[in-house]
Amino acid sequence: MTNMTADCAVVTDLLPLYYDRVCSPQSRALVEAHLAGCASCRGALAALGQNVGVESDHREEAAPMRALASLLRRNRWLAFFVGAFVVALVGSIASAVTFRLIGATVDAEGILNEPFFLVPIGMLLGLIALGSGIAAVAIMVRRRIA
């Protein structure tokens, strides 16, 4: 190593890419060769790992979820429709289940009591879920994500 400072500067620039395993094999070999003989840069790499923390241990498993999260961050309308779809679907199912649970009864005066209001609410939420789902899929198809 003739110019340690310049090497360290280059390696420090490469460390985040090296850490994220997105640098070229050549850069990777260069970083590893330098790390073997430079305690200062090994320290910088260790600090990088500490900053990322627990997440780094699960980076492989979490990759699809992180991809989805970043996708939703970049596509606000998609996030909106996916959110609306989930909320409306859950609400629709909850309405149907509640309707079944309450059931229909006939009281002493022969008047039918049933939570009829849940039917249009459930249908409305179902329609919203359907519309949101179609809109979300349409956005994904248009952006060639799906």
When asked if residue 41 is in the footprint of Zn ion (CB under 5 A), the reply is yes
User: What is the closest distance, in whole angstroms, from the C-beta atom of residue 50 to Zn ion in the complex?
Assistant: 18
When asked if residue 30 is in the footprint of Zn ion (CB under 5 A), the reply is no
Strand partners for 106: 112
- What are the backbone angles phi and psi of residue 45, rounded to the nearest 5°? -65, -40
Count of alpha carbons within 13 angstroms of residue 94, beta-carbon side:
8
Which tokens go with 112?
């039918």
Indicate the residue among 38 and 124 with the shorter CB distance to Zn ion: 38
When asked if residue 8 is in the footprint of Zn ion (CB under 5 A), the reply is yes
Binding footprint of Zn ion, residue count (CB under 5 A):
3
Residue with tokens 């009864």: 105
User: What is the closest distance, in whole angstroms, from the C-beta atom of residue 31 to Zn ion in the complex?
Assistant: 10
Residue with tokens 């070229």: 24
When asked if residue 10 is in the footprint of Zn ion (CB under 5 A), the reply is no
Judged by CB under 5 A, the residue of 10, 17, 30, 38 near Zn ion is 38
CA distance 140 to 75: 9
Residues in contact with Zn ion by CB under 5 A are 8, 38, 41
